[in-house]
């Protein structure tokens, strides 16, 4: 097995609604973005046999660990805010499930949905740029299945990660979490949907506006941003260039439903050329 360029670890999800479902989760959106940018993308995930992740992600190497259930969400958007209920949940993903060859990936994104990935997995990749999508560690599930926010665990250090990314909705102004992240991670990104994103690097906060777009489906935009940012930063070592590239990718991704919106490099570069005014300030 050839080592992948980009590895994503977390649960694949069934995003259910109106009698049907589609594939979701950070592993789906981020790996698809990496593949569309020409990288060898791979995922480590868990799902039940009735979800053919390999068929749904044909351009991604899928290391699937069997589970009796697949993590399943019912999503409802009201005034741009998402309400979620969990109907099923797959088993956790442990370090022993990450094959040695996969540990040679250059870029690694830990993207749990409900805390199924331990933060300590970052230590498996000492030579990689590791990103953390914090959302999955900021969620709890009530007995009725409603997903609610929980504080970032005080003892949970992002040490070993080069990037921590979360949405404003995820953190809800959690200053304690932000203080820890900026202390221990070189780059922290807080996405704000139509408001763009703010980014901490080199000792200061900066902001980038959202690129103009027509929103059809906001699902996965943060995951697309994370993957595109990591890839662009790895290529350029330029925070501002990576932020522009990621913001353009995220804007394009919401213009179609589900994974169909994940853009190509050519589409992203076209948007960048059309809007030179959108910069990290």
Each residue's pLDDT tens digit, 5-19: 999 999 999 998 767
Find out whether 245 and 228 touch, Cβ atoms under 8 Å. Answer: yes
- Band of residue 159 on the pLDDT scale cut at 50, 70, 90: confident
Q: Domains plus CATH for the chain?
A: 6-274 (3.40.1190.20)
Find out whether 243 and 229 touch, Cβ atoms under 8 Å. Answer: yes
- Distance between CA 27 and CA 40 in Å, rounded? 14
Output the pLDDT for position 80: 58
What letter does residue 154 receive in the DSSP assignment?
Answer: T
Q: Is the pLDDT of residue 78 over 80?
A: no
Q: Which residues contact 216 (CB under 8 A, 6 or more apart)?
A: 254, 255, 256, 257, 261
Find out whether 153 and 120 touch, Cβ atoms under 8 Å. Answer: no
Task: Provide the whole-model pTM.
Answer: 0.95
- Band of residue 114 on the pLDDT scale cut at 50, 70, 90: very high
């Amino acid at each position: 097995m050839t080592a992948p360029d980009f590895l994503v670890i977390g649960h694949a999800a069934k995003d259910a609604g109106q009698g049907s479902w589609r594939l979701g989760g950070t592993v789906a959106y981020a790996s698809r973005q990496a593949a569309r940018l020409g990288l060898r993308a791979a995922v480590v995930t868990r799902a039940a046999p009735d979800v053919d992740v390999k068929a749904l992600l044909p351009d991604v190497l899928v290391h699937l660990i069997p589970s009796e259930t697949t993590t399943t969400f019912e999503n409802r958007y009201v005034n741009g805010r998402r309400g979620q209920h969990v109907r099923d949940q797959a088993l956790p993903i442990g370090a022993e499930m990450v094959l040695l060859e996969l540990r040679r990936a250059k870029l690694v994104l830990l993207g749990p949905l409900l805390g199924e990935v331990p933060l300590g997995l970052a230590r498996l990749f000492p030579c990689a740029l590791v990103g953390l999508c914090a959302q999955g560690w900021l969620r709890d599930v009530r007995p009725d299945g409603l997903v609610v926010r929980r504080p970032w665990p005080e003892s949970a250090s992002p040490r070993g990660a080069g990037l921590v990314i979360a949405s404003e909705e995820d953190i809800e102004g959690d200053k304690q979490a932000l203080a820890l992240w900026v202390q221990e991670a070189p780059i922290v990104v807080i996405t704000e949907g139509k408001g763009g994103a703010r980014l901490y690097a080199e000792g200061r906060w900066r902001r980038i506006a959202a690129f103009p777009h027509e929103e059809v489906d906001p699902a996965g935009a943060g995951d697309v941003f994370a993957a595109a940012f990591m890839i662009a930063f790895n290529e350029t070592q330029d925070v501002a260039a990576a932020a522009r590239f990621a913001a353009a990718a995220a804007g394009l991704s919401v213009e179609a439903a589900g994974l169909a919106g994940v853009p190509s490099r050519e589409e992203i570069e076209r948007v960048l050329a059309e809007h030179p005014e959108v910069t990290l300030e």
